[in-house]
Chains A and B, each alone.
Chain A
Amino acid sequence: MKGLAPLFLGIFGTFAFSWVGLTVVPNLQIGQLNPQSDEEGTDIYPMPQSGMFERGARVYASNGCVYCHSQQVRADYAGADIERKWGDRRSAPRDYIFQRPVFLGKMRMGQDIANIGARAPAEQESPSPGGSPAGPSTAAAQTPASATAQSAAHGVQTPGAVAPAQSAGAASAGTSPAASPTSAPPKSAVVAAPGTSVASPSPGAPAVPAASPAAPTVTGAPWPEQTAGLPPMYSAAWHHVHLYSPRSINIDSNMPSYRFLYRMRRIGAGSRSDALQLTGSDAPPEGWEIVPTFEAKCLVAYLMALNQSHPLKEVRSAGPAAAASPVASPSTAPGGKPPK
């Protein structure tokens, strides 16, 4: 090859081609997504995240959780993620629009946690600041008895499903959907495309936000509701015990413990409400207790806000439940009558 000009141009051209093709064009396509909402502009998903969520994401990044845990559910034809109950539907770009950084992950030495917040029990004694999720937990909180309606329930509980997780750590930040459903960007109403999917459960939704702590109790899930001597699985207290001593919960766990996120303190006038419920060899000596640092609380608030159970119009929900949802949702949710 003679002359530098063609070489320079070629080198620049190939690079520019790739840059435009793989970053600029996708940015035009999915770079300015808005939250979706129904016609009334109430059932908004996803919602902007709280300050504690952001802090928790920093803790997640700095301790490298992403190297073992992915946060993406593949479609049913592409993997066994949905069969493993890691989610009811595949993840979509819109699920992540308020997240930075995004931790899609490339490794599953641990479970996928895209929906770990959705697995939290409905009733939880949230030890985190911001108080326990308030409000009546009766109306839509109950799980429909039939397994086929399970996904419908997820649909119905829409923003409420996000709420317990957020209010666990972040009600004070004022972004809880129940507290201020209008806090979403004003544009969001625009994206409520008219009936792109028959499976959309939006008719039932407006009634729901009042029942904020409604959490999707997954009936057929492979994890027990209660573990002996331990807090309910996937509750905030459980997360703290799990982070502090993973093998006290699952002997086969390969997760390192994160004891440096916790402090031992002498029990003063009274035990702190957020002290960890530890047993056996993990328990601190008499007169001492283990309490989470603020970082640990943020991390747990972050984990409990990871929830993609809200249906998206562009994504088909899994299984026959999707077809059942428009029928099931108006009958269960607005009436507020638990089918049990």
Chain B
Amino acid sequence: MNPAGIPLKEPSVVAAAGDTEQLERAIIDASTRVPVLIFYISAVAWLILGTLLAGFVSFKLHTPDLLSDVSFLTWGRVRPAHMNVMVYGWACMAGIGTAIWLMARLCRTVLRYPLLLVAAAGFWNLGVFLGLAGILLGDSTGYQWLEFPSYSAIILFVAYTLVASWTVLMFRFRRGEQIYITQWYLLGAFLWFPWLYAAGQLMLFVVPLQGVLQSAIGWWYANNLLFLWFGAIGLGTAYYMIPKVIGRPVYSYHLAMIGFWTYALFSSWTGMQRLVDGPFPAWMVTASIAATILTLIPVATVGLNHHMTMQGYFPLMRYSPTLRFTVFGAMSYTVFSLLGVLISLRSVARYVNFTQASIAYSHLGLYAFFTMVIFGSMYYIVPRLIGREWRYASLIKLHFWASAYGIGLMTLMLLAGGLAQGLSMENPSLAFSESVETVLPYLRGRSLSGILLTVSHFIFAYHFGLMIFGLGRKATVPTFLNPVEAEGTEAHI
């Protein structure tokens, strides 16, 4: 299409007088500024810390003697520290920040009770900080994805309850009858998370289940956190950003509805496939494998819907940072789900179940899909909160490519390494140490990808810092990744 006909919206803060809708949006955006920015700033700080921890974890895995004599730097403590900082520090806080903004926009009302959210952010940070300290000092619970000790978990839950009650309050003030697709996902996410977290905590720590059921609960929690919390926020954000940036309604509302309900129904039943061939009744694992396969229905409908919405507008990814990140994330969602189906099949799981391939899967979901969508939304939202545009298109481009190549390389390395590892592990004529030797070169490759991701995150944090300190561009046009041809005439139609 003709790039000159680009329908990218100009920032609403400089809305032309008389345009009431633009003005209304600007007022709503302004009301969300403080809470959303608090969540974003905290999230970016945790992202940087989590990235440093990640690099450390990755290097230590193939250099086991690196700083191993200090108890709080031992690999087995830094790894859960990295994971929990990324999940609860970065992903949750950034996701909540975006969700708050989307909620206010879609309820078409100024943000009420901002203090509730500010308090929630404070508690949340405290909870993550205490949890991180607890893990490093040796207080980890030992349940994957729920390593934070109970004193941290309670604070997180309090913080979370504040956010969820705010959401419900906001819904009461909403204007307009129609509830947009994004709101279904956000409402789902905000209601699922507390139930999920409470169920996990109760059944593991308060009235613990017996024996292997603890593992079942653990993976049920982890997978539902991935799908019903992060997945729902990510998909909801994509459903908002893609049509918004290209200025075109979602292709099919009914398809979206099918996608949402099948997603809620099937993805919540996954989780046990990670325990394939473990000491469990076979039906549990089989049910989850079946549910994983059935998630192809929401994947197909959501993917089709996004694709049809984007049809003919793909060239816009050349210009809009938000669109580029969001579409990358939405495509990664499809890849993530397909990989999930592949590695859950028993014949494949036999080889990859206990290997690095499952790490690849988690990173695809949390990074390639969720984090990229959230980056995209931050590129859209932050200028609207601050009233300045992103300063350097080149930094955004660098951020995107370092992230995309980084996560791509990481996924390939972990998948190929995991497969090689599994193949030698399943060959009993080879010594076990051969399987470890096999995967080590791939792990070094993964460390390389970690460097790329570190670079990308530092660039982003620097750029974000410039925005926070008011050093963004004063301009009426958003920062495009590439100069729009025939600029100055039709660029900001």
Taking Cβ atoms with an 8 Å cutoff, the residues of A that contact B are 1-2, 4, 7-8, 10-12, 14-15, 17-19, 21-23, 26-27, 29-33, 57-58, 60-68, 70, 72, 74-75, 78-80, 83-84, 90-111, 222, 246-247, 250, 252-260
Contact = CB atoms under 8 A, between A and B. Distances in A.
A80 B278 contact: no
A66 to B, nearest CB: 6
B192 interface: yes
Nearest to B142: A61
B213 A27 contact: yes
Contacts of B178: 1-2
Contacts of A63: 71, 74, 76-77, 138
Contact of B279 (A8, A92, A252): A92
Interface string B132-160: 00000011111110000000000000000
A29 B280 CA distance: 10
A256 B350 contact: no
A78 B213 contact: no
Nearest to A68: B76
Contacts of A255: 64
A10 to B, nearest CB: 7
B184 A65 contact: no
A67 B76 contact: yes
Contacts of B271: 22
Contact of A260 (B71, B171, B177, B257): B71
Contacts of B356: 107
A2 B77 contact: no
A91 B212 CA distance: 10
Given A2-B179, A15-B195, A64-B80, A100 B214 contact: yes
A23 B76 contact: no
Nearest to B264: A14
A100 B208 contact: yes
Contacts of A104: 212, 215, 275, 278-279
Among all A-B residue pairs, the 10 with the closest Cβ atoms: A64-B76, A61-B142, A62-B138, A18-B268, A96-B211, A78-B277, A108-B354, A83-B428, A260-B71, A14-B264
Interface string B346-358: 1000100111101
Contacts of A110: 436
Interface string B47-81: 00000000000001110110011110011110110
Contact of A97 (B139, B210, B432): B210
Contact of A107 (B192, B277, B358): B358
Contacts of A222: 431
B417 to A, nearest CB: 11
Contacts of B18: none
B442 to A, nearest CB: 12
Given A15-B192, A63-B74, A63-B77, A79 B277 contact: yes
B464 to A, nearest CB: 31
Contacts of A97: 210-211
Contacts of B358: 106-107
A106 B144 contact: yes
B426 interface: yes
18 contacts: A10-B261, A11-B191, A14-B261, A14-B268, A18-B268, A22-B284, A26-B213, A30-B280, A66-B144, A78-B276, A78-B277, A80-B425, A97-B210, A101-B142, A101-B204, A254-B61, A254-B64, A259-B68
B79 to A, nearest CB: 5
A108 B272 contact: no
B479 to A, nearest CB: 35
A61 B141 contact: yes
Nearest to A106: B358
B265 interface: yes
Interface stretch (B216-224, B317-325, B387-395): B216-224
A72 B212 CA distance: 10
A156 to B, nearest CB: 23
A252 to B, nearest CB: 4
Contacts of B204: 101
A253 B433 contact: yes
A96 B216 CA distance: 13
B269 interface: yes
B192 A96 contact: no
A21 B62 CA distance: 40
Contact of B350 (A2, A33, A78): A78
Nearest to B432: A111
Nearest to A250: B433
Contacts of B211: 30, 33, 93-99, 102
Interface in B254-300: 257, 261, 264-265, 268-269, 271-272, 274-281, 284, 287-288
A247 B63 CA distance: 12
Nearest to B78: A64
A79 B203 CA distance: 30
Given A19-B199, A26-B216, A101-B142, A4 B171 contact: yes
Interface centre among B71, B77, B275 (most CB of A within 10 A): B71
B187 interface: yes
B201 to A, nearest CB: 13
A255 B359 CA distance: 19
B102 to A, nearest CB: 16
B4 interface: no
Contacts of B65: 247, 256-257
Nearest to B276: A78
Nearest to A74: B277
B257 A106 contact: no
B188 interface: yes
Interface centre among A64, A66, A107 (most CB of B within 10 A): A64
Nearest to A12: B191
Contact of A80 (B70, B177, B184, B426): B426
Given A15-B268, A66-B142, A102-B215, 11 more contacts: A7-B187, A14-B268, A17-B269, A22-B284, A30-B280, A63-B77, A101-B142, A104-B212, A104-B275, A106-B144, A256-B60
Nearest to B358: A106
Given A15-B192, A31-B209, A64-B75, A23 B70 contact: no
B54 to A, nearest CB: 14
A323 to B, nearest CB: 22
A19 B265 CA distance: 11
Interface centre among A92, A96, A256 (most CB of B within 10 A): A256
A245 to B, nearest CB: 10
B79 A21 contact: no
Contacts of B276: 78
B304 interface: no
B265 A258 contact: no
Nearest to B67: A256
B425 to A, nearest CB: 6
Nearest to A22: B220
B276 to A, nearest CB: 8
B165 interface: no
B485 interface: no
A218 B449 CA distance: 43
Interface centre among B75, B210, B261, B433 (most CB of A within 10 A): B210
B428 A84 contact: yes
Contacts of A4: 171, 179
A104 B350 CA distance: 16
A103 B142 contact: yes
